[in-house]
Amino acid sequence: MEATRLRLLSIAFSLILLLDATTAQMPGFVSLDCGGTGNFTDELGLEWTPDDRLIDGKITNISVANETRKQYQTLRYFPADDRKYCYTLEVISRTRYLVRATFLYGNFDNNNVYPKFDISLGATHWATIVISDANTIELQELIFLALDPTISVCLSNATTGQPFISTLELRQFNGSIYLTQYESQFYLSISARINFGADSEAPVRYPDDPFDRIWVSDSLRKANYLVDVAAGTEKVSTNMPIDVSSGERPPQKVMQTAVVGRNGSLTYRLNLDGFPGFGWAFTYFAEIEDVGNKSRKFRLVLPGMPDLSKPIVNIEENAQGKYRLYEPGYYNISLPFVLNFRFGRTSDSSLGPLLNAMEINKYLKKNDGSVDGSVISSVVSLYSSTDWALEGGDPCLPVPWSWVQCNSDPQPRITKIELSGKNLTGNIPTNLTMLSGLVELWLDGNSLTGPIPDFSGCVDLKIIHLENNQLTGELPSYMAELPNLREL
């Protein structure tokens, strides 16, 4: 009797645990279904939310053959003007994230003109989105270290068609995954993340990868981006668990498959999006074959880079055991657009090389942004309920806010503020006087009250319009000399 009750209790308890485990989203996951209308959970267990409360723009439905995933059947699009359209997302400062944006055109505008526009992360030009097929998903991914409590992802600079977006995703990393010494000045733009020996063309991602990275199958012959140019390449796999609790923690499922060069070599040609340039390149190895006491030793051979061929890989020895991750790589290596690489057996090795996965990311230099970013943010935060104050991103880069003009310095300064007739109330924000590059200030036709703050530090200020407000007090004497001053 007692025992039965205990068992029932424990069954109930484990059911609760099970439900918890299946509904618990990883912390720091944000999955925006752009243009979507309601929350839903997809077949992977990712929880999608619509983007309607985050941004303006228009939404529409598309229909693309063979695309049944709900998040790709809607999109949000924006006017082809000289503005930028930004999502602002909350992040945890000092934490690394993956941000992923996808674009499925689907001829949403019935125009069959493939759009081309830019995407930026904060002040940094992230990529130019070039649609070249109505039914193919374009995808861009960056790894970044959050330094502020929010990030902005913006679309701008439509050169053809209208800018649009299908999904925007944030995935939070743990511990020191993707830590580099360059991370305060560079983002990592994902170029290749390949699962070798994959048992299908389907990518491996969440929940197999708790960070929802997308590991592309080596059997996917997408535009010949990866070509096996050697004979004797064979797939191997195991069901044994793999210890992946170090380095970048590649998913176990990726490490359970590999390719082996039965004839002594693995040779590939790989197209690296975004390259030539400097990048982060790592290989993921785990011994998953029954090798007995045979040796497996090999070297990486890159044409024109003899120095890189010196280290010898002996997976079992390097990983200190079978079924354990060994992750050698380069934090900063110069790579071409077409990478030819070979792993070759050493003369004293009886087995050919084995490769489970590899990942190559390009360093993308961060733009420091406008000098006035934090000052103008403090001003804008006073008007957080107004549309004009919510444009997001950097005030000047890659294109300025609609009511701002900037100079063309590498780190631009705000030169003009045009807030005429915006229904501003309260005092003129004192922090406006900290915009040292200000030339024109238009605040006329509002309901501003109180005294005029001291603009004498804005030495370039030439035009100031304050008329049609309820300001009080005298015009400061230095202001009376401004040629284009309009009185209170």
What residue ranges bind ligand NAG (CB under 6 A)? 39, 49, 59-61, 65-66, 118, 128, 135, 157, 159, 174-175, 182, 186, 210, 231-232, 263, 278, 292-293, 332, 363, 374-375, 378, 398-399, 423, 430-431
Cα 213–210–24 angle (5° rounding)?
Answer: 130
Q: Which is nearer to ligand NAG, 232 or 328 (CB)?
A: 232
**In the bound complex, what is the minimum distance in angstroms from residue 375's beta carbon to ligand NAG?**
5
**In the bound complex, what is the minimum distance in angstroms from residue 341's beta carbon to ligand NAG?**
19
Using left for φ > 0, alpha for ψ between -120 and 50, and beta otherwise, residue 377 falls in alpha
- Burial of 483 per CB tally in 10 Å (0-12, 13-18, 19+): exposed
Give the contacts of 461 (CB within 8 A, at least 6 positions apart).
438, 439, 440, 441, 455, 482
Q: Which is nearer to ligand NAG, 180 or 482 (CB)?
A: 180
Q: Where are the alpha helices (DSSP H) in 219-287?
A: 252-255
Q: Which is nearer to ligand NAG, 67 or 199 (CB)?
A: 67
User: What is the sign of the dihedral through the CA atoms of 197, 200, 203 and 204?
Assistant: negative
Q: Which is nearer to ligand NAG, 388 or 485 (CB)?
A: 388
CA-to-CA distance for 96 and 176, rounded, in angstroms? 8
**In the bound complex, what is the minimum distance in angstroms from residue 67's beta carbon to ligand NAG?**
8
Asked if 138 and 57 touch (Cβ cutoff 8 Å), the reply is no
**In the bound complex, what is the minimum distance in angstroms from residue 299's beta carbon to ligand NAG?**
19
Q: Which residue is nearest to ligand NAG (CB)?
A: 231
HSE of 394, CA atoms in CB hemisphere, 13 A: 23
Max CA separation in the chain (angstroms): 96
Q: Which is nearer to ligand NAG, 21 or 65 (CB)?
A: 65
Could you tell me which of 211, 206, 254 has the C-alpha nearest to residue 45? 206
Asked if 73 and 61 touch (Cβ cutoff 8 Å), the reply is yes
Q: Which is nearer to ligand NAG, 262 or 486 (CB)?
A: 262
**In the bound complex, what is the minimum distance in angstroms from residue 476's beta carbon to ligand NAG?**
20
**In the bound complex, what is the minimum distance in angstroms from residue 309's beta carbon to ligand NAG?**
19
Q: Which is nearer to ligand NAG, 328 or 463 (CB)?
A: 328
CA-to-CA distance for 57 and 49, rounded, in angstroms? 17
CA-to-CA distance for 258 and 235, rounded, in angstroms? 6
Edge-to-edge strands, sheet with 257-261: 233-237, 257-261, 354-355
Count the residues in the chain. Answer: 488
Q: Which is nearer to ligand NAG, 367 or 378 (CB)?
A: 378
What's phi and psi for 478, nearest 5 deg?
-65, -25
**In the bound complex, what is the minimum distance in angstroms from residue 224's beta carbon to ligand NAG?**
18
Interstrand relation of 440-442 and 414-418 (parallel, antiparallel or unpaired): parallel
- Reduce the DSSP state of residue 54 to 3 states and report it: coil
CA-to-CA distance for 238 and 290, rounded, in angstroms? 10
**In the bound complex, what is the minimum distance in angstroms from residue 135's beta carbon to ligand NAG?**
5
Q: Which is nearer to ligand NAG, 23 or 430 (CB)?
A: 430
**In the bound complex, what is the minimum distance in angstroms from residue 200's beta carbon to ligand NAG?**
13
Q: Which is nearer to ligand NAG, 304 or 483 (CB)?
A: 304
**In the bound complex, what is the minimum distance in angstroms from residue 199's beta carbon to ligand NAG?**
18
Tokens for 456, please give them.
Answer: 């004498």
CA-to-CA distance for 127 and 32, rounded, in angstroms? 20
CA-to-CA distance for 232 and 354, rounded, in angstroms? 12
| Residue 48 neighbours by CB distance under 10 Å | 21
Q: Which is nearer to ligand NAG, 333 or 485 (CB)?
A: 333
